[in-house]
A and B are shown apart, each in its own frame.
Chain A
Amino acid sequence: MTTAPTITTEHLNLRAHRASDMDAFWDFYQTPRADFMDKPQNRSHLWYGLMAEVGSWVVDGHGGWAVDLHDGTLIGQVAILQPPHFAETELGWLLFDGYEGLGYAHEAAEAALNFARETVKPASLVSYIHRDNTRSKRLAERLGATPDPQAKEHDDEDNVYRHVGRAA
């Protein structure tokens, strides 16, 4: 079966999702850290989302990775996704409560960004970030992305940060 390729960085492993990741993601979506995201209404919705991020690897050649510490602790997710209702390919990240401020989100997102540049090579790559999510916006800027007010948002409340290319 095809799954996401494992990418090892200094502190992290980006790996394919497993069904057992469900509980940790469900717990995450109950915390205020998920307030800027589209929260699943119930466990079934979460399951559908996670399955789609897995299936995306087969369909599009990119998708979601679980982010583990080297000791196997699951601490978040990074994903390269382009459902047809997204104007452009998106790089997204999330980090569980208690692991912020250590550079992990940057490390994981940078690894995914490199994978996008070297392997996926999308025509363009952006991050859709809620306008009030200042920490994520700062991370996008540290990754080298710039705000693109001309780009089509995924949601009225989003700002679009551009990593690669130009809006179509």
Chain B
Amino acid sequence: MIATLADTPVLETERLTLRAPIPSDIEPWVAFLMSERGVWHGGGPDAGEGVAWRVAATFVGHWVLNGFGLFVALDRESGRPVASSGPYAPPDFPEIEVGWSVWAGADEGKGYASEAARAVIAHCRDDLKMPTLVSYIAPENTRSCALAERLGAWRDKDANGPHPDDLVYRHYGVAA
């Protein structure tokens, strides 16, 4: 018996379909989380497969307990999962965060992350009516910082992140 997440929203963009995770996403998601770039999402090459699995399973459990979470973005033409993005609210995050990741190195630079994140931010604001939305980004993750700025977010130096070094990029709303 493999269960599925039911009654979850689907977002369509020009090239992508964003839907809640399904079991077959876990293998490529874990592979991404074990890669060099997975280090920004709680994984990385040193963390190992067990940690990567736990992070991916956490992203799925987040949907069940919160009713929202990270979407998996499929390239509609091939049906292949290429990226993930969605609102995320662990207890140590001062505000709801939107994150994004392109899973395979070969899919970087195609604009998938920005296309997915744009749809997710609009969904958080217009459908879920989340009062504020930020991205917490490590300063060394310069590509993500640049993307946050391209998405129209601005550095909020008065807002706190979960880690003291994080930069807080604000998409909309005012810190509580």
Contacts and interface: CB of A to CB of B under 8 A. Distances in A.
Contacts, number: 106
Contact of A58 (B5, B30, B42): B5
B140 to A, nearest CB: 21
B53 A50 contact: no
Interface stretch (A40-48, A69-77, A95-103): A40-48
Nearest to B66: A19
A137 to B, nearest CB: 24
B13 interface: no
A135 interface: no
Interface in A45-94: 47-61, 83-86
Q: Find the residue from B5, B42, B60 having the highest chain A CB count within 10 A.
A: B60
Contacts of A22: 91
Contacts of B48: 85
B42 to A, nearest CB: 8
Contacts of A106: none
Is chain A's binding surface mostly helix, strand, loop or mixed?
helix
B161 interface: no
Contact of B60 (A16, A43, A50, A55): A55
Interface string B104-124: 000000000000000000000
A60 B92 contact: no
Interface string B1-26: 11111111000000000000111001
Given A44-B92, A55-B61, A58-B64, A84 B49 contact: yes
Task: Give the bracket for the number of chain A residues in contact with chain B.
Answer: 20 to 34
Interface in B37-61: 42, 48-50, 53-61
Contact of B6 (A1, A43, A54, A59): A1
Nearest to A119: B1
Question: Would you list the 8 A-B pairs with minimal beta carbon distance, nearest first?
Answer: A55-B61, A55-B60, A85-B50, A54-B61, A51-B61, A2-B3, A55-B57, A52-B57
7 contacts: A1-B8, A19-B66, A42-B92, A55-B64, A59-B57, A61-B3, A84-B50
Interface of A: 1-3, 16-19, 22, 42-44, 47-61, 83-86, 119-120
